[in-house]
């Protein structure tokens, strides 16, 4: 049987998963004293819709592996603002312009930030994995036997 995770643990799992897909500006905000809808917001940014989808999928897989599937996923048609609802945690994945426009971090500025574990390690691991898979830069090296 999988041990039930508390919202802080789930927030850390979601943040690590987001960072592993190179999400930027990952923050966790403790909103439990200000709203009854959830305990923690995790907010992160993606450079483009494709990256937002990858972040969403990685969070979904990581939370599933931890025994906590998202109950709701919204915004996964255009991937400009994806909302994932987990037990006690709502994850917001924004494209940069949407994040700036809606300003959730500013709206909840009075709420305490949750210190997240070092997310740099997860990002570096993903960058190393991608670097190994990148094709050679020299197109001629792909052509064999043409003289």
For residue 24, what pLDDT is reported? 96
* Residue 121 counted as domain residue: yes
**What is the C-alpha separation between 99 and 14, in angstroms, rounded?**
18
* Residue 40 counted as domain residue: yes
What CATH number corresponds to the domain at position 120? 3.30.460.10
* Residue 1 counted as domain residue: no
Determine the average pLDDT of the residues in 101-109.
Answer: 94
**What is the C-alpha separation between 57 and 127, in angstroms, rounded?**
17
Which tens digits make up the pLDDT trace of 118-136?
Answer: 777 765 666 665 566 665 5
Residues spanned by the domain of 115: 7-142
**What is the C-alpha separation between 144 and 138, in angstroms, rounded?**
12
* Residue 2 counted as domain residue: no
Kindly indicate the confidence band of residue 50, based on its pLDDT and cuts at 50, 70 and 90.
Answer: very high
* Residue 48 counted as domain residue: yes
CA 141 to chain centre: 36
* Residue 26 counted as domain residue: yes
pTM higher than the cut 0.95: no
Which tens digits make up the pLDDT trace of 78-87?
Answer: 999 999 999 9
For residue 4, what pLDDT is reported? 81
* Residue 110 counted as domain residue: yes
Number of domains in the chain: 1
* Residue 147 counted as domain residue: no
Which tens digits make up the pLDDT trace of 52-73?
Answer: 999 999 999 999 999 999 999 9
């Amino acid at each position: 049987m999988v041990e039930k995770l508390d919202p802080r643990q789930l927030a850390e799992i979601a943040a690590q998963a987001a960072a592993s897909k190179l999400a930027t500006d990952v923050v966790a905000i403790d909103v439990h004293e200000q709203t009854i809808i959830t305990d923690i917001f995790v907010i992160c940014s993606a450079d483009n819709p494709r990256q937002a989808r990858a972040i969403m999928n990685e969070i979904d897989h990581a939370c599933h592996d931890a025994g906590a599937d998202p109950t709701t996923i919204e915004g996964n048609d255009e991937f400009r603002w994806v909302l994932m609802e987990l037990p006690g945690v709502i994850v917001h994945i924004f494209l940069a312009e949407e994040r700036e426009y809606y300003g959730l971090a500013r709206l909840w500025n009075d709420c305490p930030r949750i210190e997240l574990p070092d997310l740099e390690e997860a990002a570096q691991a993903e960058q190393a994995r991608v670097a190994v898979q990148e094709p050679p830069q020299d197109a001629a090296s792909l052509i064999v036997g043409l003289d």
